Amino acid sequence: MVDALKKMGKISRKGPVVLVIMDGVGFGKYKEGDAVASSRTGTLNKLYKAYPWTKLKAHGTAVGLPSDDDMGNSEVGHNAMGCGRVFAQGAKLVNASISTGAMYEGTTWKKLINNAKEKQSTLHFIGLLSDGNVHSHIDNLKAMIVQAKKEGVSKVRVHALLDGRDVGELSALEYFDPFEEFLSGLNDEGFDAKIASGGGRMVITMDRYNANWNMVKKGWETHVLGEGRMFDSAHEAIVTLREESKAIDQDLPPFVIAKDGKPVGTIEDGDSVILFNFRGDRALEITKAFEAEELTEFDRKRRPDIEYAGMMEYDGDLHVPAQFLVTPPAIDKTLAEYLCASKVKQFSISETQKFGHITYFFNGNRSGKFDASLEEYVEILSDIVPFEERPWMKCAEIADRVIKEVENGDWDFIKLNFPNGDMVGHTGNYQAVVCSMEGLDLQIGRIYKAVMEAGGVMVITADHGNADDMFEHAKDGSVKYKENGDPQAKTSHSLNPVPCIICDSNYQGEYETELKSGLGISSIAATCMNLLDFESPSEYDPSIITVK
């Protein structure tokens, strides 16, 4: 348990500090494709003129990723904002564990490998097949397969999800084709590795925050039971299903690879299974499907008796999964924990799609509260729809509730995540993103009014960019076009910086109006502490404000 924070005795506000996280809203680098800049955001424009603001780094090493070529993402972004400093993140830790060989010395790896060897059974890998480095990296998978062969495993089956969300929207074959070749190169009379099933990551297996368990059910049927449309190869499945459905990769229907009408890789008693995604939000449900004795969410029909391991521990509170390959970053001393120790009353809210971001990710990948008597978490249920069809999502409902809470005056610190910029940004639909940004801006205006009336402070920021970069650009900065002349949509996050605006209802000159520059989003935590009149702990990254 951390100590209570020290009071500064310098900043006193009647109302709460309200932290607004606009998920996926950054400052575009290119004019073309910047759906944030090209939206009518009357509120934000007004706030930029009236209040101090700065740009914060939200990608690469500033959020604990291996290099500055890595875009930011919600996990590392919320970890940084909620924990006040930067930890080496999953992408970096897994990479290191594999390249030093530490993973293969661990008990979990040895147990799964020995299980497959002793029982002459199959080693399965399930996960996202791309180099997005948000949930997984294909190089990790390849390295593990090579090692498994070296250690004497004879049969490997890969259940590969198409990405198209952290990488190009139609890039799957750039990963699948060379990967199939890679497997063929390894295969010999003693070793047999194949892709056994697959599908789009937004259709099967990778649901999060209990938004749509039907996705997990479909994933189970595809990977475990081998039920579904059958194809001779992943290449054939992808080409055919694309042609028929016109879907982009993340939405491609599921497929099962079969030979002579029989699936090549169902998951059976005695097998070993590794979920090779390192990020937790979209790994928890499929993990539960494998691990739970009783499952109420869907009928598994058959639950194989297997050795199951995740790439990482996905929930540090609940210790899920039971077995994992790499220990996650030891994120401690979070903002919420410090605020609880200091008796600060805190309210957190988002809709389902980002509910865990503002709670679980923000608290360093822990699902529980630090002090239930001081904290309330509210989830507004997300619609189960393609978000380009409802780009406003639940931003009005979130704002309604926040305004009510601000007016009631029960909380010292309120934090919320608006998913619009990100969830709609991932669809690649430019018009929908503009609509999402304009809807969001209206709601920020409503919250702003309530916070000013209550005499509070509103801090507006984001976890990484997305909506600010909606077109693919060539290295020389020019927009890439499709054959039909439309710009090529970019569905993934951007490498761009994000805003931090401090709207203070009652500024009395207690801090410099010029905000510090060159900082990253990890500085949000210390900033919120200062605005709540606390000194920030020495281990935290510096506050954006300089208190006089």
Give catalytic residue positions: 74
Please choose, out of 73-81, 86-94, 225-233, 368-376, the segment that lies near ligand 3PG by the rule CB under 6 A: 73-81
Q: What is the dihedral of CA 249, 217, 121, 140, to 10 degrees?
A: 40
Choose which of 16, 17, 23, 145 interacts with Mn ion (CB under 5 A): 23
- Whole-angstrom CA distances from 254 to 140, 158, 329, 466, 541 are 23, 14, 33, 27, 44
Point out the annotated binding site for Mn(2+).
23, 74, 422, 426, 463-464, 493
Site for ligand 3PG contains 166 (CB under 6 A): yes
Of all helices (H) and strands (E), which one includes residue 498? strand 498-504
Shortest distance, CB of residue 421 to ligand 3PG, whole angstroms? 9
468 binds Mn ion (CB under 5 A): no
Cβ within 8 Å of residue 225, ≥6 positions away = 266, 301, 302
Asked if 73 is part of the footprint of ligand 3PG (rule: CB under 6 A), the reply reads yes
Binding residues, as ranges, are 23, 74, 135, 165-166, 201, 208, 279-282, 354, 422, 426, 463-464, 493
Alpha-carbon separation of residue 351 from 18, 157, 385, 420 (angstroms): 17, 36, 14, 10
The CA-CA-CA angle for residues 513, 21, 503, to 5°, reads 25
Check residue 463 for interaction with Mn ion (CB under 5 A).
yes
* Dihedral sign from CA coordinates of 230, 233, 234, 235: negative
194 binds ligand 3PG (CB under 6 A): no
Q: What is the 3-state secondary structure (H, E, C) of 208-270?
A: CCCCCHHHHHHHHHHHHHCCCCEECCHHHHHHHHHHHHCCCHHHCCCEEEEECCEECCCCCCC
Q: In terms of CB distance, is 274 or 498 closer to Mn ion?
A: 498
Asked if 351 interacts with ligand 3PG (CB under 6 A), we say no
CB closer to ligand 3PG out of 149 and 464:
464
Give the whole-angstrom CA distance, residue 368 versus residue 200: 31
Identify the residue among 422, 469, 472, 504 touching ligand 3PG (CB under 6 A): 422
- Contact by Cβ (8 Å): 413, 375: no
Give a three-class secondary structure readout of 342-375: CCCCEEEEEEHHHHHHHHHHCCCCCCCCCCCCCE
Question: Segment contacting ligand 3PG (CB under 6 A): 70-78, 83-91, 97-105, 300-308?
Answer: 70-78
Write the binding mask 194 to 233 for Mn ion: x where contact by CB under 5 A, - elsewhere. ----------------------------------------
Interface residue with Mn ion, options 39, 74, 136, 443 (CB under 5 A): 74
Q: What angle do CA 530, 533, 535 make, to 5 degrees?
A: 55
Region of 69-77, 429-437, 471-479, 499-507 interacting with ligand 3PG (CB under 6 A): 69-77
- Contact track, Mn ion, 396-425, x by CB under 5 A: --------------------------x---
Ordered strands of the 346-351 beta sheet: 53-56, 498-504, 457-461, 17-22, 413-418, 346-351, 375-380
Residue 54 half-sphere exposure toward CB, CA atoms < 13 A: 19
Pick from Mn ion, ligand 3PG, none: which does 489 bind, CB < 5 to 8 A by kind?
none
Q: Which of 85, 137, 159, 165 binds ligand 3PG (CB under 6 A)?
A: 165
Residue facing Mn ion at closest CB distance: 74
Contacts of 431 (CB under 8 A, 6+ apart): none
Nearer to Mn ion, 202 or 312 (CB): 202
* DSSP reduced 3-state for 301: coil
281 touching Mn ion, by CB under 5 A: no
Residue for token pair 């994933």:
219
Smallest distance, ligand 3PG to C-beta of residue 262, A: 33
Residues 267-286 that bind ligand 3PG (CB under 6 A): 282
Q: Tell me the binding residues for substrate.
A: 135, 165-166, 201, 208, 279-282, 354
Interface residues with Mn ion (CB under 5 A) are 23, 74, 422, 463
Interface residues with ligand 3PG (CB under 6 A) are 23-24, 73-75, 134-135, 165-166, 282, 422, 426
